[in-house]
């Protein structure tokens, strides 16, 4: 299945400095949607259709939609302690 990514400005800035986290996130997303492999993804309480993925000590907050292909919109990414304060 085709996956397209869109990044909020804050997520873009984070991923510019942490390419390894971006690559791991994309790898996990593609495996999750294509092969249904489990990774540490949890639906966030209090938000509609918003999820978080754990990538080491970092968290990636995202939403997605299906329109013939999957669009993953990354809302934010950062260290586990600080990321939830920025939502």
- Please give the mean pLDDT across all residues of the chain: 91
> Distances from the Cα of 19 to the Cαs of 30, 35, 38, 48, in angstroms?
16, 24, 22, 28
Q: Taking the model in full, what pTM does it have?
A: 0.89
Q: Each residue of 23-40: pLDDT tens digit?
A: 999 999 998 888 877 788
- The CATH homologous superfamily for domain 3-86 is RelE-like (3.30.2310.20)
Please give the Cα distance from 61 to 3 (Å, whole number). Answer: 17
d(CA 50, CA 9): 17
Which tokens is 64 given?
A: 């997605």
pLDDT in tens, 52-71: 999 999 999 999 999 889 99
Q: Please report the pLDDT score of residue 87 as a whole number.
A: 67
Q: Structural domain boundaries of the chain?
A: 3-86
């Amino acid at each position: 299945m085709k996956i397209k990514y869109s990044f909020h400005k804050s997520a873009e800035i984070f991923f510019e400095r942490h390419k390894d986290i971006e690559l791991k996130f994309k790898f996990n997303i593609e495996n999750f949607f294509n092969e249904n492999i489990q990774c540490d993804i949890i639906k966030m309480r209090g938000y509609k259709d918003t999820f978080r993925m754990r990538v080491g000590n970092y968290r990636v907050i995202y939403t997605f939609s299906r329109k013939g292909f999957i669009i993953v919109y990354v809302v934010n990414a950062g260290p586990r302690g600080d990321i939830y304060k920025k939502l």
